[in-house]
Chains A and B, each alone.
Chain A
């Protein structure tokens, strides 16, 4: 019996690893200008699916190649792609190849990790994905990631709630249809299910990837409307310390009638980061403090945030990483304006209302990257703790409220090396399991627990030359208390056809879902005339998402077009449906039977002379189709335009303009008589680098233009920010 098992084991793995290659390519990848080794560069032998990424010394090694002529392609975010042809004469050849990559942050063909949970060229991604580096925040003197996301294509922020391609409206802070990951680890609160933006680092970030389609077939619940993955830096080889400070101030509102205080309203922040290696041990540490008076009454905040990452290479291929993110916030509560003619003031009863919160996660990650075979094993354990309390007073809560939640999770994933099975072309398999257990103790939600697990798999293979198939399946199980158990199977299918070297067409479809959060099920509270009532009978929402698109990556031009359609079932939305005896609007979360969001997105980037131009246009048509007569889903603008122009007249001097247009929201849930207008926001900014110091000046809302995203929440008047950062 034991021998039979061994034989079966041998046969299965012989089948998977029936590879006869043996020649080797090895070398080092460095930054052309600085000479620093580049970690994480993608090195691929074109046409073979053999590939790897560089280690902390910039070194790579690809083994197991047949004699022949090959093209080696090296790519890395922020750098131009480099290709080089080589010839392997014999099976014992060891060819040394060194690469020096030239920095080119805008148009270099990008490597992404989020769309397929593994590294791949953006041209091979079966879904639309936006890639941003830290300049999204830093060049604009922005110190919180939610504000920075306002400038990402197809993304809108409704207060603190993010929506990609209008997937979400506004749900009073409960639930998120977009999954936020930090280095691949979900960061959603266990009680409200919302994104805690003040725990997200805004420095030491390598890049931000925004997946714009449902990602539930790989990421499970909450990835219904897309995924945002914040990928932090790796520790640098040379010790590096940076200190950044920013001071900002708000101008008085344009209209004298709206001016509400004679005080100067300001913001300031200080941020210190250090990155170094001590032997093989890599360390990044960051701490920052932010203070903001707010531009509205009772809308001030103080935040303290810290982030650290410790890289401990166990061997050349095994790495252990420890890390944490944590944030503390003390902020005033501005719910709605007092009156249309006092839009920066809130009702007097709520003045003094404050919320104090702490949130943080700590994780351990183990990665085993087999450089030769491009296989990768990843194990992660994460715990996320969130607590808050307030001093609100009302007839439901008397005075004060609080909530504490803990979410413990385990993630395991293995990316197999490319293998041939059953005579098919090389397959790249990804398999993984997730598990979590969360507890909530709360005055607002009462005590609850949730638990769940998932298993998923994905196969990618080249069906015929230049046509890649991506198929995935994920099974999830969720349980809330002992009352509700939900299971869900989410498939996805994608095809990518590389029409030419720099042109690809893609078509994809898949299902997504989201289980209701504790907050959506059990919230019972009153705030600013809104009485949130529990609805323990909520069902999970689900959607089928489809996308067809194409991308072009030229030398100086990037262009992407996507047509998308999402068919929702049981969509969960906040629904104000009646009044209580005191005139408070009663809001419950309800399942809309059917909803549809479809549209088109165009994105382009190009360089022209000393100009760099970015533009993104998203048109969406969103319909609540519960009734026979379709009506628009609330809080969703049909048209979103985001453009930016950067002009670099001389080296180290950069002048930019950002323009955002959002069409008038057709429908809001409350106060539908309030005037609503299109949004036109123009920002101007400049930065100048002097040796190790960078100075930035930004003017936000240059036009002093006013609009509302959420009813009775006006945007900030024209405001300024000066920043200085030193790196040594």
Chain B
């Protein structure tokens, strides 16, 4: 009887002890660092849309040539044409990213500033681009961008425009 009582009292500890160790290592591929959000498209897509990309730049370019190089080398994600919304995720190293934007290439055009159709603005403030902060092994969420085809091209605050009319960007990531 007394032994039974002892076992009953110890039962909760024995149950919990069934090879359960709480937190455990995860596959490195599952340790994601980056940011995510949704691109929402308003209005009608141009019929001659050829390619659409979401682009992230670590630093705001200071000169047109610097901007061209940065954009060529920037991480990009292709957006299916004629989407109404597109959830995206960028896997990037921890740090601050000064500008995230959506660029659209139309038939017969080259990449250029007039390809920019949407920019991430912090708290909806269109006078300054929103910085995106990414922490190690964290996903920064809600980096949302709205593309309104009725109001393009978009002026990017802080981005140099002089002598920088066209981009000849790489269309593959």
Contact = CB atoms under 8 A, between A and B. Distances in A.
Interface stretch (B39-47, B79-87, B99-107, B130-138): B130-138
B16 A659 contact: yes
A339 B25 CA distance: 10
B20 to A, nearest CB: 7
Q: Which of A340, A343, A671 has the most CB of B within 10 A?
A: A340
Contact of A706 (B17, B23, B137): B23
Given A340-B26, A341-B25, A609 B2 contact: yes
A707 B23 contact: yes
B22 A611 contact: no
Contact of A677 (B2, B6, B23, B96): B23
B163 interface: no
A86 interface: no
A526 to B, nearest CB: 15
B31 A703 contact: no
A677 B5 contact: no
Contacts of A254: 21
Given A579-B131, A611-B6, A706 B24 contact: yes
A57 to B, nearest CB: 43
A679 B22 contact: yes
Contacts of B21: 254-255, 703-706
Contacts of A579: 96, 131, 133
A340 B137 contact: yes
Interface in B1-41: 2, 5-6, 9-10, 12-13, 16-17, 20-26, 28, 31
B31 A340 contact: yes
B95 interface: yes
A706 B22 contact: yes
B6 to A, nearest CB: 7
A608 B8 CA distance: 13
A17 interface: no
B136 A339 contact: yes
Given A583-B133, A657-B10, A680 B20 contact: yes
Nearest to B131: A579
Contact of B95 (A257, A583, A707): A583
A707 B95 CA distance: 27
Q: Which of B22, B94, B134, B136 has the most CB of A within 10 A?
A: B22
B117 interface: no
Contacts of B131: 579
B145 interface: no
Nearest to A582: B96
A149 B29 CA distance: 39
B116 interface: no
A645 B23 contact: no
A659 B20 contact: no
Contact of B24 (A255, A643, A674): A255
A659 B9 CA distance: 12
B139 interface: yes
Contacts of A180: none
Interface in A81-107: none
Contacts of B134: 583
Contacts, number: 85
Interface in B42-57: none
Interface residues of A toward B: which range?
35 or more
B96 A583 contact: yes
A659 B135 CA distance: 35
A228 interface: no
B149 to A, nearest CB: 32
Contact of A611 (B5, B20, B26, B139): B5
Interface string A336-371: 000111010000000000000000000000000000
B25 A258 contact: yes
A616 B2 CA distance: 24
Contacts of B138: 671, 673-674
Contacts of B139: 673
B96 A581 contact: yes
Contacts of A255: 21, 24-25
Interface string A703-728: 11111100000100000000000000
Given A645-B9, A682-B17, A708 B135 contact: no
A674 B25 contact: no
A339 B28 CA distance: 10
Contacts of B28: 341
A340 B134 CA distance: 16
A675 B138 CA distance: 11
A647 interface: yes
Given A339-B136, A671-B135, A673-B139, A682 B25 contact: no
A506 B98 CA distance: 59
Nearest to B97: A583
Nearest to A258: B25
Contact of A583 (B5, B9, B94): B94
A258 B24 CA distance: 9
A608 B5 CA distance: 10
Nearest to A682: B13
Interface string A586-617: 00000000000000000000001101010000
Interface string A55-83: 00000000000000000000000000000
Given A341-B25, A611-B5, A680 B16 contact: yes
Contacts of A678: 22
A714 B23 contact: yes
A702 interface: yes
Given A339-B137, A583-B95, A677 B12 contact: no
Contacts of B22: 677-680, 705-707
Contacts of B2: 609
Contact of B137 (A611, A674, A705): A674
B25 A257 contact: yes
Nearest to A341: B25
Nearest to A257: B25
A585 interface: yes
A675 B23 contact: yes
Nearest to B2: A609
Q: Which of A582, A583, A670, A704 has the most CB of B within 10 A?
A: A583
Contacts of B10: 645, 657
Contacts of A581: 96
Contact of B135 (A613, A670, A702): A670
A671 B20 CA distance: 24
Contacts of A582: 96
Contacts of A645: 9-10
A662 to B, nearest CB: 11
Contacts of B12: 643, 659
B92 to A, nearest CB: 12
12 contacts: A255-B21, A339-B137, A341-B28, A343-B23, A583-B96, A583-B134, A585-B133, A611-B5, A673-B137, A677-B23, A680-B22, A708-B23
Interface of A: 254-255, 257-258, 339-341, 343, 529, 579, 581-583, 585, 608-609, 611, 613, 643, 645, 647, 657, 659, 670-671, 673-675, 677-680, 682, 702-708, 714
Given A579-B133, A659-B13, A706-B22, 11 more contacts: A340-B25, A340-B26, A583-B133, A611-B6, A657-B10, A673-B138, A682-B13, A703-B17, A703-B20, A706-B21, A707-B23
